[in-house]
Amino acid sequence: MSFRDSIVVIIETSRTHIRAGLGLHDLLKTPAVEIQARVGLRRNASGEHLNRAQQPIAPGNNAAKPAVASSSRMSSLPQDYEPNASVNDYLVGTALDEALAAGQDVSISWPFADGDVRDWTQAEAIWKYILFNQLQRRRLQNESPVLLSIFPGLARDTYERTCQVFFERFNTAGFAIIERPIAQLYAANSLSGVVVDVGEEKTDVTPISDGFIIHHARKTTSLGARDCKNYLARLLQSNQGVVSALSPPDKPLDPQMLNATLLELVNQVWTDGHVKVPTSGETALIEDEGVTDIAAVLVAGKEKAVIESGMKKKATAKASAAEQARAREIEAMDLLTVQFREHSLTLGKERHRFCEPLFDPTLLKGLPRDSVSRTEQVLSLQEAVGLAVAQADIDQRQSLWAGLFVTGDVTRYVKGIGVALQSRVAPYIANSDLQSDVQPRYARALSVPEYYPEYRDTGNGLACFLGSSITAKIIFSDSGGRNFVTKADYTARGPHSIIETTPALL
């Protein structure tokens, strides 16, 4: 059987975020729903968790806790186990945000933070919120098939239990699973490469050859956007103009409050797109002084940018020589004025050092590092990629190096990380002077193609959702396909049917 594109549901599950959308279109859309992958339980003055009726939840004495993740995948994000809590007891999405904003005592849990499922009740609460609250599906008449993206390398039992939840708890009409790195690489129009997924506190490096993950070569390093934010906040403490404005001598902030304020400023700066990654591998964009290809401009959807560029050139031509000299001076200083709270703050080039810890973890020395795995050696991105590719077969390495794809939330706002990484992995491409059919000679950074207009301004950050949408459009429209589980399949063979329709498990 096949399904109409308009009723297909895509759910992307990452360590810290859930993204979802309803319907597939000729121009694939960005996710309509995006929430943090966390749940909350209210607590009373005694610290007891409360259920939906605001009554204490009876403690579970004999309930077993989930298995602990490996040290490289363990997260510092909190997790509270409440065996007797039901799905409806948990606060999710806007309900959780409102409870926290109101100052209520709420314990927060992140069920996907370890790259697996820490607590199934919490996971079900999040998926249920997405399907029935945000996407307005109806359980009794749920006609929508669901494509779920999850982490690579999970046990078959996890696949089966996930399939069971979606059919028996959500009454979905069809179900399929795709591993996150596979979907991300699909978005870059490739089947082979190395996916570098930079998360909030972890970065996952996954080599993929001909559409299949090389599981024994996967790496996880304890570096992420949180380290970048903490590092830039420390650098801004040397900016006297910023510090004196935020913490005036007559009303100084205590160090902890000043750091929290600087972190808030850093978050505003990088999410507003004011950070770039300098690298020797970058080349300056050459302005087009010749005849404009009108057809190409219209196809690319850049007519507004071309018009604005032409107006800017005319205005610049009329400026005096002194004004032009001053403009060049300011441009060389690379100053930026931002409005933060009631202040107008001027930042310099230090903001472009935001991503330095990803390539040199030693810069984090002296910063508070709250991850549970910080006692082990922290690999830089180039080291993690080099080790991952080195563990692949020799005849696979050339295609892996030719598909270096950096993705993750940070790449939505910070451009150039992929090119910066490409310039740093050269030492790991061994014997680059040898000429043979299988010897890699260079690394090539991939990106989401320009022909996805809805994704032009999102960098590579939404690659997983885009790749999942591409996959869903193919498998759910194929009446003879066997890459998803139908309701009839589930009725006949139960949860095990997901194993037979998932190529990664065969």
Q: Which domains does the chain have, with CATH numbers?
A: 1-32+135-188+462-506 (3.30.420.40), 38-119 (no CATH), 193-224+361-428 (3.30.420.40), 226-277+332-359 (no CATH)
Question: 294 to each of 27, 82, 308, how far by Cα in Å?
Answer: 22, 61, 15
CB atoms closer than 10 angstroms to residue 338: 16
* DSSP H/E element including 385: helix 381-390
The amino acid present at 465, given as its one-letter code, is F
Per-10-residue mean pLDDT, the chain, length 506: 88 96 90 96 87 80 56 80 92 95 94 94 97 94 94 95 97 95 96 97 96 95 94 93 91 91 94 84 39 48 60 64 67 81 90 94 79 66 96 93 96 93 90 63 92 92 96 86 88 93 77
Predicted pLDDT at 283: 37
How confident is the model over 41-63, as pLDDT tens digits?
999 888 889 888 888 887 765 44
Predicted pLDDT at 305: 61
The Cα–Cα gap between 305 and 491 comes to 54
153: left (phi over 0), alpha (psi -120 to 50) or beta: left
How confident is the model over 192-235, as pLDDT tens digits?
999 999 999 999 999 999 999 999 999 999 999 999 999 999 99
Predicted pLDDT at 289: 40
The Cα–Cα gap between 459 and 356 comes to 19
Structural contact between residues 37 and 126, judged by C-beta atoms closer than 8 angstroms: yes
Output the six-digit token pair for 434: 């040898």
Query: Beta-strand (E) ranges in 121-280?
Result: 145-150, 174-179, 193-198, 203-209, 212-213, 219-221
Helix (DSSP H) and strand (DSSP E) numbers for the chain: 17, 16
What is the number of alpha carbons within 13 Å of residue 284 lying toward its C-beta? 3
Structural contact between residues 411 and 451, judged by C-beta atoms closer than 8 angstroms: no
What pTM, to 2 d.p., does this model score? 0.86
Exposed/middle/buried for 468, CB within 10 Å: 0-12, 13-18, 19+? buried
